[in-house]
A and B are shown apart, each in its own frame.
Chain A
């Protein structure tokens, strides 16, 4: 397991999962790839399939319709896989707490699939790109 974690920490490939977000966190995530922040310098890149991903960037409250899809995406990832709950909604459903179509937060749904999942939280509404980078760095340095 040690070497698996070790190999995970360099050049993290991420898959972006929107589970009912307002788009802000998602746009800030895409923003990370554009010239001002440009995380591709560090080998971090968005990939098109969860099967290629080292980490999931999950945004949004997890709506009733999105929950089964989120579980399935998590199952498809190669383990170990770090789940990043990006933004207040993903961390604890935020302002949408108690809405009828919300079944989240993200950690609850992920733990239904894998009780030992590695989950990191980046709060903020939306977290600034700098905060996202800092969150990823912090999480990877304690792994």
Chain B
């Protein structure tokens, strides 16, 4: 949809709004009262239609504000519905989750941290706060005194097996339940999945997070604008270039700063190197999940040179800390460029070999195709982003739709597949790796001379949204400044936050043996999600992750036999 057309459509709901603020060509804020937010959001999502990003809850002085962020991907335009809840005693607003499943989690989160009630929410349970968090204490309200003293956990002896928290859905005892987590041998992070099964078929899936919730958003309000990038790069180790960049994009928009060209190119190079190592990491883990450890070892081996490159450029293998408001902290010395280009050639050759090996393998075709399919409609309904969306035929990519850094100057393609299964997601990631290598190469050759930063005096009052394409999808940051030296509200939406709930669409109806793989296919990142083993005590079949993994591997072996694939011998390599 063209920008003009969008502006015209927005006028149709003018009578429900207090005001329309157009901050710039593609940043629009619609101000309304809480009663009208449901109608306005529904209009934006169903009639216009726009993609839902996230909601932000803010404790302003005299009221609560809920911001629903939408995006028009054709022009990279943000439309934000800002709803005012005037009643501070019993704040409530109509839930938009009934027609927009992507909003289910964020409304639960806002209920947790700000204590706002969402009427008619389908599933209002605790999401990100711990089981023992006291009721009625809302960490993001300005008048809440922190730190809060808490009970030290269970006194001694056995743990509480059956959690009393509202976070655990009570399951009918007649149905067998498979519990996965919170610790299991392969996943690096804690999360808890509860699969309800009928024979081998999964009929329901539920997830409990909170294990990784650290409270970055509140912490960010205590740091200066220039310190926040160090914090947000530690939201997630693998997105440690894209989180700060999205934040910086927002802050630079508030202050109206244009960084020098060279800084934009350096940012692009670091972000694309990050994508290469992250995608290789996923390919390795994907191989591991189906019992194909050769792919795991290969992919991680070829990932090492990328980390070495990043260390050469920024001084650290991860957590680069290279981006700041107004530019970059460290330059890429010109004499380093030939060395990086040479290294890239090697990486490309190795990745090509890996890609061919993966894509030509008949076992992988049989094992991954048609598994964990996320249909195009579901992808839109759950508002997924990144390779998860592009694997389901939703051609969105922030780098093309709303170019930041130096992406507009580079020549590259957005990779999409329409099948939506695990294989499609693998293909998207592998081919994207080559696009990234291409981009880094171009950026290095075009790298303009000049300074890498401009001086920034102060950040004026204002609010802005910034986003960046992380390896897993779109990272979205909302920053509000009151003219002081700290942000007064900083909202972070990581890509996994919308990708993870799409499990409900892709896992239900699958075999148990395929679930681990389907869960892994979106490349979930819980530290991002939550900035974000106690096994269930049901008297039913309880399997652990080892058993699940064994099932998955047995299925691979069975398929191998069926299609008559040759046994792989060590001599073949």
Which A residues form the contact surface with B (CB < 8 A)?
16-31, 34-36, 46-49, 60-61, 63-69, 71-73, 94-96, 98-103, 112, 125-126, 128
Contact = CB atoms under 8 A, between A and B. Distances in A.
B297 A34 contact: yes
B368 interface: no
Contact of A18 (B188, B318, B546): B188
Given A21-B527, A22-B235, A30-B188, A65 B210 contact: yes
Contact of B189 (A18, A69, A94, A126): A18
The 10 closest A-B CB pairs, nearest first, are A24-B237, A48-B185, A65-B130, A64-B130, A34-B300, A26-B188, A99-B215, A23-B237, A65-B210, A35-B301
A98 to B, nearest CB: 7
A98 B219 contact: yes
B319 A125 contact: yes
B214 A27 contact: no
Contacts of A67: 153
A143 to B, nearest CB: 25
B218 A68 contact: no
27 contacts: A18-B190, A19-B190, A20-B527, A21-B237, A22-B527, A23-B189, A24-B238, A27-B318, A28-B317, A31-B300, A34-B296, A34-B297, A48-B184, A63-B210, A65-B131, A66-B182, A66-B190, A69-B534, A72-B534, A95-B230, A95-B234, A96-B214, A96-B216, A99-B214, A100-B218, A101-B214, A126-B237
Contact of B159 (A17, A30, A68): A68
B44 interface: no
Interface residues of B, number: 56
- For the complex, would chain B's binding face be called helix, strand, loop or mixed by DSSP majority? loop
Given A96-B219, A99-B218, A69 B211 contact: yes
A69 B185 contact: no
A1 to B, nearest CB: 24
A117 B236 CA distance: 30
Contacts of A48: 184-185, 545-546
Nearest to B182: A69
B16 interface: no
Interface in B433-461: none
A34 B297 CA distance: 6
B340 to A, nearest CB: 19
